């Protein structure tokens, strides 16, 4: 397994719309394993393939405390959404930034597992928020872009300032 490079906002590649996964082979299994290792090492609770510059409809999630309950969703589709919730989100592609975002409270998702088998998940709470957040990445959307123009401008300034400190 390998730790993959995570793209950081405002990298334009984060705005690429992911294509459906059509081949379930050893290369895909390796990508899933590498993405999981990358997510755990970051540390995070979710990672979309788009964030590691692979533009396929694949996300990995693990919201468990023990970090041993990996959920793999390939070609996910939201079938139902209801309720509203506002929760603080962060993102491995926007390090150090946490903001409140509006999401559906409950969702029903259809997807394929790592072997291509159709699965369905009814999710609420943190899992529902995480799935919606990661699915946004597959559409080329980043959570900070859901915020007001003023907040987004401040975040971009902060990210540029942090980048200068690193260099």
Is residue 89 in some structural domain? Answer: yes
Is residue 3 in some structural domain? Answer: no
Is residue 5 in some structural domain? Answer: no
- The H-or-E segment that residue 87 falls in is strand 85-91
H-helix segments, 26-114: 26-41
Q: What is the mean pLDDT of the chain?
A: 95
Mapped onto helix, strand or coil, the DSSP state of residue 115 is: coil
Full domain range(s) for residue 39: 12-166
Q: Which residues are the active-site residues?
A: 134
pTM above 0.75, yes or no: yes
Say whether pLDDT at 158 is over 90: no
End-to-end CA distance of the chain: 29
Q: Give the contacts of 139 (CB within 8 A, at least 6 positions apart).
A: 17, 18
CATH code (residue 79): 3.90.45.10
List the one residue out of 137, 132, 18 whose CA is nearest residue 78.
Answer: 132
What's the domain count of the chain?
1
In angstroms, what CA-CA distances link 91 with 37, 44, 111, 122, 141? Answer: 16, 8, 22, 23, 12
Say whether pLDDT at 150 is over 80: yes
pLDDT tens-digit series, residues 136-145: 999 999 999 9
- The H-or-E segment that residue 117 falls in is none
């Amino acid at each position: 397994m390998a730790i993959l490079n995570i793209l950081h906002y405002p990298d334009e590649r984060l705005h690429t719309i992911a294509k459906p996964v059509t081949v379930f082979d050893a290369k895909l299994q390796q990508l899933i394993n590498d993405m999981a290792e990358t997510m755990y090492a970051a540390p995070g609770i979710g990672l979309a393939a788009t964030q590691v510059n692979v533009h396929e409809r694949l996300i990995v999630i693990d919201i468990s405390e023990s970090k041993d309950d990996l959920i793999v969703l390939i070609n996910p589709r939201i079938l139902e959404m209801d309720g509203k919730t506002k929760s603080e989100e962060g993102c491995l592609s926007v390090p150090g930034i946490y903001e409140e975002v509006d999401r559906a409270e409950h969702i029903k998702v259809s997807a394929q597992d790592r072997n291509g088998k159709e699965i369905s998940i009814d999710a609420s709470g943190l899992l529902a928020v995480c799935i919606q957040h990661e699915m946004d990445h597959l559409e080329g959307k980043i959570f900070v872009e859901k915020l007001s123009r003023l907040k987004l401008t401040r975040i971009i300034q902060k990210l540029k300032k942090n980048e200068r400190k690193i260099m």
